[in-house]
Amino acid sequence: MATAELWIDGAPATVEDLTHQALINYGAYTSFAVAGGAVRGLDRHLARLTHAGHALFGAAVPEAEVRTLIRQAMGDRSDAFVRVSLFSREISPRSPAHEGRPGVMVGVFPPVPPLGETPLRLQVQTYARETPDLKHVATMGLIRARRQARVDGYDDALFVDSEGRISEGSLWNIGFLCGDRVIWPEAPMLEGVSQALITAHLADVGLKQETQVVTVDAMSGFDGAFITNSATPACAVGAIGDHAFAGNAEGLNQVVAAWSRAEPQPV
């Protein structure tokens, strides 16, 4: 697949459709890798869209219909990176009150590589995403944070809230390794699908887990950290700010193994 394709409610996107998308920054989305015609955690991605439909539009698109639209957009391709977005042509800054079934835009793109193949250096930034329970399209703050981290010589941005609690990163969730345990940070954040898949299977690979408040000052208590998202099962974190991790390759491999235990679900 050489180029991206955009479909809206089962038809190729028109200039009018894309003009609305470009000018009205209201909606939600989810994105995932399709491999061999299947997706790990597809049910969770669909549930995310259902939740967003009710929260933002007062109505959800039936999951079976979303799957049909994904299959239609994929065509005969079995491997791709897909983004499914919800929007409403009836909602604008002047007329925001409409409620009803949102439109569905499906973007089909070439498979994307993981975010990092070498341990990442993360810059700590104070930031909290708006309505963290929704994967919404208002992403300026996330992109700006990642851009600033790159300008300052880091790979990406790690967020702490006003109370100093670590939450998540620009495009991913973070976990910390401590011996045979994974520690997930406790703070308002988007619940990532890959994080949920790992959480569901850590016990299967011999790792314990817990959720607790984590601050930057606590980094010396961990022997490693990793990021995870739909394109990246797990990538090691080499440093957070001035703190460098010794590394825990065995623990990282176990995290990847936990993610791999999640059965791919046919689209």
Digit-coded pLDDT (tens) for 16-67: 989 998 999 999 999 999 999 999 999 999 999 999 999 999 999 999 999 9
- The closest alpha carbon to 4, from 136, 107, 96, belongs to 107
Q: What would the CATH number be for the domain defined by 5-109? A: 3.30.470.10
| Range list of β-strands (E), 89-169 | 103-109, 120-126, 156-160, 166-169
Residue type, 40: R
pLDDT > 70? residue 255 = yes
- pLDDT on residue 117: 79
Q: What is the DSSP letter of 225?
A: E
Quick one: DSSP state of residue 218?
G
Q: With cut-offs at 50, 70 and 90, classify the pLDDT of residue 1.
A: very low
Predicted pLDDT at 7: 97
Alpha helices in the chain (DSSP H): 15-23, 42-57, 63-74, 140-151, 193-201, 249-260
Query: Quick one: what percent of the chain has pLDDT higher than 90?
Result: 94
Domain boundaries, the chain: 5-109, 120-266
Beta-carbon contacts of 228 under 8 Å, excluding residues fewer than 6 positions away, are: 172, 173, 174, 175, 192, 194, 195, 198, 234, 235, 255, 259
Question: In this predicted structure, what is the pLDDT of residue 116?
Answer: 78
Considering the entire predicted model, what is its pTM?
0.95
pLDDT at 188 over 60: yes
What DSSP state is assigned to residue 241? T
Could you tell me which residues are beta bridge partners of residue 211? 184
Assign 220 a pLDDT band (cuts: 50, 70, 90).
very high
Are the folds of 5-109 and 120-266 the same?
A: no
pLDDT in tens, 123-175: 999 999 999 999 999 999 999 999 999 999 999 999 999 999 999 999 999 99
What's the CATH code, domain 120-266? 3.20.10.10
Per-residue pLDDT, 219: 96
